[in-house]
Each structure stands twice: as structure tokens, then as C-alpha cells.
A and B are shown apart, each in its own frame.
Chain A
Amino acid sequence: MEILVCVKRVPDTSENEIELNGAGNDIDRDDLVYSVNEWDNYAVEEALQIVDKVGGSVTVISVGDDESEEVLRREMAMGADKGILLSDDAFENVDGRGIATILKAAVEKGNYDLIFTGAQADDGAAQVGGMLAAMLDVPFASLVNTIEVNGDKLKIGREIEGGNQEMYEIGLPCVLSIQTGINEPRYVGIRGIRKVASVEIPTLGAADLGLDAAALGASAARVQRTDYFLPEMGDGAEILEGSTEEIIDKLVELLKAKGGLK
């Protein structure tokens, strides 16, 4: 099974304090630490576990700048066999559709049975996986939390509302967007990363992918960000006081009053 996992380098929400910058049009990126998008990490782990069982190889790919190489290397330290960086000045500030276009070009240069993306990125819109599948004209399932390989078909589970589970059969090739919690990703330490420090990661630009630079980029974007702000703070939380019994009673009352309980 040849699996391609799309990974993204994002500001780590748990290790940063996200604040608006001075101009009020973006977050302050001065002191940020970046790491691999959490969903993508789960996706890589899942790919590795599948390949462990049925054989094949895992390739990780990322659209980004030179710094994204660090994320590719980390996933290779985790066990991915190959890494590909898609980088070009023309790729700067593309929107989600632009990313999917770039990825599609790279997918077509290879021969992959299965493509994973994370269900969303910390700073994304949860759209690249679906768009990529549509562009490639292959089946797509989102929020996948369990995968079983059955020859050339997959049995997958999707997490839906209320903690319920939907099971599907999906044919290969396909694109799946992976939900966190699908597995327990293995740890990658400094040592692992050092071991792959000198492995080559080819970089492909617009020309290598046969893409028209003009068709990408900010001008071609059909979605533009117009504003960035912190929403107004509402009233604080209410802390219920009293004995456990009293608190329960008050809570039930409130839930009924606000329509949470019939």
C-alpha cells in the first residue's frame, strides 16, 4: 500500500499564546513555535501502522517554505519512508483550493493507493482533504477514526454526533481526512530526528509540478481574509454554589429554562 500523507507546519496552539499583532490583521508570529499539525501526526501514525500490517511505504508531503522541511523530517523520524516538499514563491498566500491544486499536481506525479490529510489544521478550514479528492475525482471520507484494510477496499469508521459511529466501505484509491484519537502516535525525540537529519527531501516548485504560477497566488484566490479579531468577551461563567444536591437542582432548573432539557 503506497500511502501519501499531507502534513502542515502550524503554530502550536498549546505552546504559544495566540495574540493579535499590532496591525490587527493577523496573529503575532514573532515568538511562535511551530510543529506538525496534530491531526496530520495522527494520520502519519495511522499510515505507519497500516504499512506495518500490509506492507508498502509512507510518503509525507507538505506545501510550505524551507521551514516546513523540519516537519517533514520529524514525520520521517517517526517512520515515514520519503518526504517531499512543495515550495515556490508562487505558493505563498494561496487559499485552501490553491493548496489542493498544488497537492493534486504532486499526487499525479506519484502512484498512491491512499491519501491522508488531517481533518483540519490548527489554523485551517478543514477543506483541503475534500477539495483534493474532488480534484482527483476519487472517493472521500472525513473525520475517519478507524481504518481496516480489506484487500483493495477499506472498512472505515467516521465519528459523528453524539459519540456515534458510522461504518463505511470505501474503494481505493481514495482520500481520507483523519480525526485525532484514531491511534496513539509514537513518540519522536531529538535522537530520532537526528537520525534522519541527512536524508534528502526533494523540493518541487511550480515548474516541476507543471503549474501555472499565475493561476495560484493571492490574486487567484477566490476566498480572501478581510478581518481578524478577538470576539467580545461575554459575561463570565456562573459558578453554582451549595451542596451537591442543591447544585444539581439548580443545574437542572437552568438547563430546563434554557431549553437544554425537555
Chain B
Amino acid sequence: MEPALLSPAAYKFFHIPTALFALLIPLVGMCAFAYIMKRRIDPLLKAAPDNRFDRILVRLWTVAKIWLAQWRQPRYRMAGVIHIFIFAGFLVLSIRSTTLVIIGFWESFTFPGFNGALGHVYNVFKDYAATWVLIACVVAAIRRGIFRPERYAVPAHYGKDHTGEAVFVLALISTLMISESLFEATLAAAQIQQLQPAEFVAPGTLAWLFRNVLIDEPIAKLQSMHITAYFIHDLTFFFFLCFLPLGKHFHVITSLFNVFFMRLERGNVKPVKHGVSDDQLDDLESFGVKKFEDFTWKHMLDFYSCADCGRCSDNCPANAVKRPLSPRFISIKGRDYAFANYPLGGANVVKDDAYQLIGDIYSEDEIWSCTTCGACEQECPLGIEYIDKIVDLRRGMVDEGNVPQSLQKPLGALEKRGNPWGKMEKKRSEWVKEIAEEVPVKLFEKGATADTLYFVDSISSYDDRMQGIAQATARILSKAGIDFGILGKLEKDSGNEVRRFGEEMLFQDLKAQNTEAILEAGVKRIVTADPHAYNALRKDYENLPPVEHISELIRKEIESGRLPLTAANGDGKVYTYHDPCYLGRHNQLYEDPRRVLDAIPGLTRVEMSRSGDRSFCCGGGGLMLFYEPEEEQRMGVLRVDMAAKAGANMIVTACPFCLVNIEDAIKVAGLEGKMEAIDLCELVVQHLAA
């Protein structure tokens, strides 16, 4: 039986078999693609090492959840749903696309396994897929081109707007869908005309629509449309393939890998160089990232994978207060730099030694502005990391002596006195004197022993206001009957920010001193009320007894009945809990403080819209308190406004730095008397039954 239409494999265009083109186009396309990919991989081969092949099963699970199931996409509902449709459509259509390429020169090819019933089912499914992809693209294009959501905007100093590129790609995808459907529809229409068995075309789909429109067209027209549609698809497909690595749609190729290799732990910081242990650090020539090739290959892959979606910057507190930092542009600038210096047509650009990333594509303030809150990494659907890059860039600046004057003083003080204010070691335990009569606090520095170490850390030890947290914590521990002590003058700053601000060797020094003191004290567990200390002790220190945050302990003691609480006195106070970055996002501790608050009978609690892993950074802790940023507003003020918007007049925090920043912000925002901040421990002490 004569086929209703000649396939591309059989057709002749002015006596030239079109099968030839169907063979040439993929050949040329694949070669071009291979070359482009080779050029893109080149910088990664020169990059610093990275350790991403551990815990394979966990990585596979991460791929299943974040890549395949698009777990993070719905956090922005409209964009997320559109993307899920397009992504799912791509996965479904991948088989069809492959088949299409091959049948251009090999007419009877079917994808292995798709010969029989599965093939027919698939055909129905793929028709719907193509349709929903087209609809999604149209909606997306209208959204990008007309409604223009804020987060896609490109501030002038970062260059031209990216909407053109976005809409262009949507047009390419739409072309693929339309041409594929036309290819199918023309054949189906011809087969029906010729009263031949036609492939079932699912109703309501694009192909179905085209078939019905074309049902009465002359065969010759259907034939030429059939072939034309094929080659439009073929050319567009390979053009698109080669276009992917040229811009933000590189993520289509790299996303699977980027998610597979993404970081599995939170709150930790990469070593100065993978493969170089702490005691080998002194032998390294250079610390940190100074030139592009100092980045690890995964970080370069991150640059490639950025889809320019702006979700990171949309959640970045530094960006919100108009500091010169926008995480999205860290990636975009890095990517563009890689493209420019490893060009497709031409040799690698060789920079002289004096060339540094800082000052050229990144500014110093841009890098110092980051509070390491982790909101960007939490949000990114592609598993792009920022904190490690910022830390590495800071390490590079510190290595070159390029540290803002405002930070040099506290760093010097940390080196000499173990705390950023330069206060004397022997005064570290002064706060115990005030409560000594009611709450005896053992001092390991004096040779006492105890089961539990209360690691106070610098701010709660020295700051007049934050000593209140230390005292409240001590009261709670004492009331719960816990045998605890503090290191006193033997304690040094935990160094969480010291490390994250790039002063790795000073951090190592603090870590060594603290570790020695802790192990000497012979305690079985450590408890702290400072999330930065909590994070450092758990993630950056080694061989320590287990570390708990005070909220975990309080919850356990309440639930076991050892800490009975009195009721809230219903004085019109509406409480809201602010998730500290280093307790929440970095250590996944969201529930315990809330349980503690809810255990106070009659306490009215509301949630801010930005809570849990969407919590908004208060402004930062540790060394960030000393840095003088360029900003339009304080992060704390934005946060206090959020609390007011949620209907609260009491903000509860579980971090001394959050408390400092929020109390300050309440004054700056002019909300004194209308809003108050309190620490979780202080609140619990207020409600301890006698």
C-alpha cells in the first residue's frame, strides 16, 4: 500500500533525497554541539578540585526530589507550575524528539520498546505534552513580556534586560511544538483522506486541532507541509541544542548534574581546598578565590546552570535593603566571564597575574555584604550555591590584605583577646556575678567539673544587654536541675563568622583553643543559646561531645515536666517567632522554639508570612555587626515591619544577634513602645513556675 504521504526519508526535493538533509543536519548539529560543550568544559578542567562523589544514594534521592519532582518550583506558584509543565513536557517529548531526528533518514525506526501498545499510549501522551508545553510557553511569554514580574528586572549597572533572550527561547520551544504537531497532523489528515488507518490523534491536542483544520487540504499541500514541518523541527531542534550552552538555558543540560552534585549539608563551609587537610593549610601558596580558575568545577557549573530566575535575589535580605549584592548576578557575571574568557571561536584569554576577580567583575562591597543567611541556596531550584563562593572570595581578599578597616579591628581583637570587642578574658564570666546568689554557675576555668557545658560565646558574655540571655539560660538550666558549667576565660569566640568572613587561620586558632578547653573540661554534652556557636560547634568543629540548642533542651524539659510554666497574662501581647538563620535554615531547627512558645498557656502567637525556611535575616551576626554596609535600610527594620504586618507586638528570637538587630531596628523604625523584642530564654524565665 502506498503511504498517504512520503516521509522525509523517502521524499525528494528537486531530485535530492531529503534524507540527506535529515542526516546532515543532525551530524553538523551534533558536531557543533560537541565543540561548544568542549569549550564549555575547558575551564572546569582547570578548576580547583571539589568533593562531590560521596553519598551517591543521597545524591540520587536529591535528584529525584529536586530535579525530577521539581520540589522547589512551586515556592513561586505561577512560575513554578508553568515550569513544571514545560519540564515534564520536555521529559515526555524527549523520546519523540529522538525518534523524529532518526526517522528523517531511517523511516521505520521506532524507539526501543515503543513498538507495540506502549508506543500507542506514548503517542497519545506526547500529544498532550506538546499541547500543554505550547500553552505554558504562551502564558510564560505573556508573563515575561507584558506583566514583567519584578524579580526579572536587570538593574542598569548589570547590563541589558534579559527579557529578549527569555521570549526568544519560548518562541523556539513553541516552534518545536507547533512543527512537531503539524508533522503529525498532516500525516494523519492525509491518511484519513486516503481512507487509510491513521494514527490516533488525542482529542483536544494541538495535533488534533491541526488535523481537523487541514482535513480537506489537497494532498500535495499536505505533503509539502509535512516535509517543511519536519525540517523546521529538525533545524530548530539542533539550533536550540547548540543555543542552550550559550545562555541561561544551559540549565536544560546542566541541571541534572548540578542537582546531583549539589551540597548535601547546610551550615557548613567548604575547606580552603578540597584534599588539603587543616594541618596542611600552612603549605598552601594562596588562599581563596582570586582568579576565575580558583573556583571549584562545581562552582563553575553553578555559573553555567543559573536560569536567571531571580528567586535567590528576591529572597536575599542584602538585596532587599539595596546593598550592592544580588546573588543572581554573582552567577550571571561569573557565567559571562567564563564565556568571554573561554570563547567559542578563539583561544582562551590569558590574564596577567595582577588580574583579580574582585574589582573587575565583583566589587568588594558586593562580597562583604552577604550575611550568609542561606536564603538564596534554600530557594534555588537548581542547587546553585553561594555561601561557599562568597567565603572563598573573602578568603582571597583576606589573603591579599584587602579587608575593610571596620573589620580589621574586631579581627585583631579576636586574635588577641578571643572576642571581637577586645575585652579582657577574665571578664568573660562576669555576667555570673549578678545572679550568683540564686543561680550558682560552675566555672571550668577554676577546675570545676560538670556533665554539661554551657557554651556562652562572645556576645552573650560581654554585651550588657545580651548578658541577660546568658543569665536567663543559666536560670533555666539550673531550674531544670542540669549539672552545667561554663568555660569562662578559657572560652574563645566560636569563630563562626571569622571563618565565613574568610579569616580561616584565625578560625583554626580559635577552634584549636576551644576544642582543647572543651575536651579538658570532660563534659558529656554541650548546650548553647547562640545559634552561631551552635552551628560552628556542630559543623566546623570536630570530635566534640553532642551539641544542643537551648530551645531543644527547654522543649524536652517542658515535655518531661521538669520545667513547669505559668500562663501568659493576656495583656494584649501578640507574639511572633523570628527564625534565626543559623537555627532555622542552616540547622533545620524550626519546631522546638515554637513548641516552647505554645507550651506557655494562653500565649497568643502569629506567624509572619516569611517564616520557617523563608525567614528574613535580621542583619547578621558576629563580624557582620561591625561591617559598615552601603544600604538604604536596615534588614532589621524590614523584619520589624513584617512582624507589625502580621499583627504582632512582641518578637521572640532565639539568637543574641537577632535580638541586637531587632531591638535596634525597633528604635530606628520609630516603633518603641509599640513593638518589643525578647529572647526565648528570657520569655521562658518570665513564665517559670516558682
A residues bordering B, Cβ < 8 Å?
Answer: 12, 14-17, 31, 33, 35, 78, 184-192, 194
One of B114-122, B190-198, B222-230, B406-414 contacting the partner:
B406-414
Chain A residues with Cβ below 8 Å from B403 are 186-187
Indicate if the CB atoms of A187 and B401 lie closer than 8 Å.
Answer: yes
**B310 CB, min distance to chain A CBs, angstroms:** 34
When chains A and B are docked, how far (Å) is the Cα of A78 from the Cα of B408? 13
B506 contacts A189, CB within 8 Å?
yes
Residue from the list A33, A186, A192, A194 in contact with B417, Cβ < 8 A: A33
- A33: chain B residues within 8 A (beta carbon): 416-417, 422
Residues of B within 8 A of A186 (CB): 400-403
Asked if A189 meets B416 with Cβ closer than 8 Å, knowing A16-B424, A17-B424, A31-B424, the reply is no
The answer on a CB contact under 8 Å between A14 and B409 is yes
* Size class of the B contact interface (CB-based, 8 Å): 20 to 34
Task: Give the shortest distance, in Å, between B394 (CB) and chain A (any CB).
Answer: 11
Check if A14 sits within 8 Å of B413, measured CB to CB: yes
Complex contact B287–A191 (CB within 8 A):
yes
B277 contacts across to A, CB distance below 8 A: none
* Given A187-B398, A191-B287, A192-B401, A14-B503 contact (CB < 8 Å): no
B552 in the interface (beta carbon within 8 A): no
List the A side residues contacting B400 at CB < 8 Å.
186
Question: Which chain A residues lie closer than 8 Å to B402 at the CB level?
Answer: 186-187
* Assembly CA distance A17 to B425 (angstroms): 11
Interchain CB contact under 8 A, B506 and A14: no
Using A15-B416, A187-B398, A187-B411 as known contacts, list a sample of 15 further A-B pairs with CB atoms less than 8 Å apart, ordered by residue number in A: A15-B412, A15-B422, A17-B424, A31-B426, A78-B401, A186-B400, A186-B403, A187-B402, A187-B408, A188-B401, A190-B503, A190-B506, A191-B281, A191-B504, A191-B505
Contacts of A189 in B (CB 8 A): 398, 411, 415, 503, 505-506
Complex: how many Å from CA A185 to CA B400? 12
Identify the closest chain B residue to A194 (Cβ): B282
Query: Is the CB–CB distance between A194 and B505 below 8 Å?
Result: yes
A12 and B417 CA atoms in complex are apart in Å by 11
* Residues of chain B with a CB closer than 8 A to A15's CB: 412-413, 416-417, 422-423
A33 to B412, CA, bound (A): 11
Known: A187-B403, A187-B411, A189-B411. A35 touches B505 (CB 8 A): no
User: Given the interface contacts A12-B416, A15-B422, A189-B411, does A184 sit within 8 Å of B405 by beta carbon?
Assistant: yes
Choose among B398, B412, B506 the residue that contacts A35 (Cβ–Cβ < 8 A). Answer: B412
Q: Confirm or deny: B399 has a beta carbon within 8 angstroms of a beta carbon on chain A.
A: yes
B278 in contact (CB, < 8 A): no
A15 to B409, CA, bound (A): 10
Interface centre among A35, A186, A190, A194 (most CB of B within 10 A): A190
What chain B residues lie within 8 Å of A78 (beta carbons)? 401
Find the B residue at minimum CB distance from A34: B416
Closest to B504 in A: A191
Give B670 Cβ to nearest chain A Cβ, in Å: 14
B422–A190 touching, CB < 8 Å: no
Q: How far is the CB of B284 from chain A (nearest CB, A)?
A: 9
**What distance in Å separates the Cβ of A149 from its nearest Cβ neighbour in chain B?**
21
* Complex Cα spacing A191 to B286, Å: 10
Subset of 8 A-B contacts with CB under 8 Å: A12-B412, A16-B422, A184-B405, A186-B400, A189-B398, A189-B415, A189-B503, A191-B282
Grouping DSSP codes into helix (H, G, I), strand (E, B) and loop, the B interface class, with mixed when no group exceeds half, is helix
- The one of B287, B415, B422 in contact with A14, judged by C-beta atoms closer than 8 angstroms, is B422
Closest beta carbon of chain A to B199's beta carbon, Å: 70
Give Cα A191 to B405, complex, Å: 18
CB distance from B56 to the nearest CB of A (A): 35
Most interface-central of B281, B407, B424, B506 (chain A CB within 10 A):
B424
B506 contacts which chain A residues (CB < 8 A)? 189-190
Q: How far is the CA of A188 from the CA of B403 in the complex (A)?
A: 9
B451 on the A face (CB < 8 A): no
Smallest Cβ distance from A65 to chain B, in angstroms?
19
> Nearest chain-B residue to A14 (Cβ)?
B422
- A190 near B413 with CB under 8 A, answer no
Alpha-carbon distance between A253 and B150 when the two chains are bound, in angstroms: 53
Task: State which residues 282-337 of B face A: CB under 8 Å.
Answer: 282, 287
Bound Cα distance from A254 to B412, whole angstroms:
41
Contact, CB under 8 Å: A12 / B422: yes
Contacts of A12 in B (CB 8 A): 412, 416, 422
The distance in angstroms between the C-alpha atoms of A17 and B430, with both chains bound, is 15
Q: Which A residues touch B504, using CB under 8 A?
A: 191
Distance between Cα atoms of A191 and B503 in the complex (Å): 9
CB distance from B334 to the nearest CB of A (A): 25
Closest beta carbon of chain A to B280's beta carbon, Å? 13
Chain B proximity of A244: nearest CB distance (Å): 14
Contacts of A17 in B (CB 8 A): 424
A33 to B417, CA, bound (A): 8
Bound-state Cα–Cα, A186 to B399, Å: 10
Task: Report B-chain residues with C-beta under 8 Å of the C-beta of A190.
Answer: 415, 503, 505-506, 509
Alpha-carbon distance A186/B405, docked complex (angstroms): 8
Q: Lowest 9 A-B CB distances belong to which pairs?
A: A186-B401, A15-B422, A187-B403, A190-B505, A191-B505, A33-B416, A187-B401, A187-B408, A14-B422
Q: A16 to B416: give the CA distance in the assembly, Å.
A: 10
B291 to chain A, nearest CB (A): 19
Give B388-405 as 1s and 0s: 1 = Cβ < 8 Å from A's Cβ atoms: 000000000011111101
8 A Cβ contacts from B415-438 to A: 415-417, 422-426
Bitwise interface map of B from 438 to 461 toward A, beta carbon under 8 Å scored 1, else 0: 000000000000000000000000
CA–CA, A192 and B503, complex, Å? 11
Using Cβ atoms and an 8 Å threshold, which residues of chain A touch B422? 12, 14-16, 33
The smallest C-beta distance from A39 to any residue of chain B, in angstroms, reads: 15
Q: Is the CB of B416 within 8 A of A35?
A: yes
Interface centre among A14, A31, A189, A191 (most CB of B within 10 A): A189
Q: Closest CB-CB distance, B436 to chain A, in whole Å?
A: 22
Whole-angstrom distance between the alpha carbons of A187 and B411 in the complex? 9
Complex alpha-carbon distance, A171 and B394, angstroms: 41
Return chain A residues, CB-CB under 8 Å to B503: 189-190
Q: Which of B257-275 contact A (CB under 8 A)?
A: none
Chain B residue nearest to A197 in the complex (CB): B282
Report A-chain residues with C-beta under 8 Å of the C-beta of B282: 191, 194
Q: Which residue of A lies closest to B408 (CB)?
A: A187
Chain B 453-482 residues near chain A, CB threshold 8 A: none
- A15, closest chain B residue (CB): B422
User: CB within 8 Å of A: which of B497-512?
Assistant: 503-506, 509
Nearest to B508 among chain A residues (CB) is A190
A187 to B364 CA separation, bound complex (whole angstroms): 14
Closest to A17 in B: B424
Q: How far is the CB of A188 from chain B (nearest CB, A)?
A: 6
Across the interface, name the chain B residue whose C-beta is closest to A188.
Answer: B401
B277 → A minimal CB distance (Å): 16
> Whose C-beta in chain B lies nearest to the C-beta of A184?
B405
The residues of B that contact A14 with a CB separation of less than 8 Å are: 409, 413, 422
A50 vs B344: C-alpha distance when bound (angstroms): 42
In this complex, what residue of A is CB-closest to B427?
Answer: A17
Bound Cα distance A33, B419 (Å): 13
**Complex: A226 Cα to B307 Cα, angstroms:** 74
Question: Roughly how many angstroms separate A16 CA and B409 CA in the complex, as a whole number?
Answer: 13
CA distance A15 to B422 in the complex (A): 4
In angstroms, Cα B415 to Cα A14, docked, is 13
Q: How far is the CB of A17 from chain B (nearest CB, A)?
A: 6
Contacts of A194 in B (CB 8 A): 282, 505
For A35, A185, A191, A194, which residue has the most chain B Cβ atoms within 10 angstroms?
A191
> From residue A44, how far is it (CB to closest CB) to chain B in Å?
12
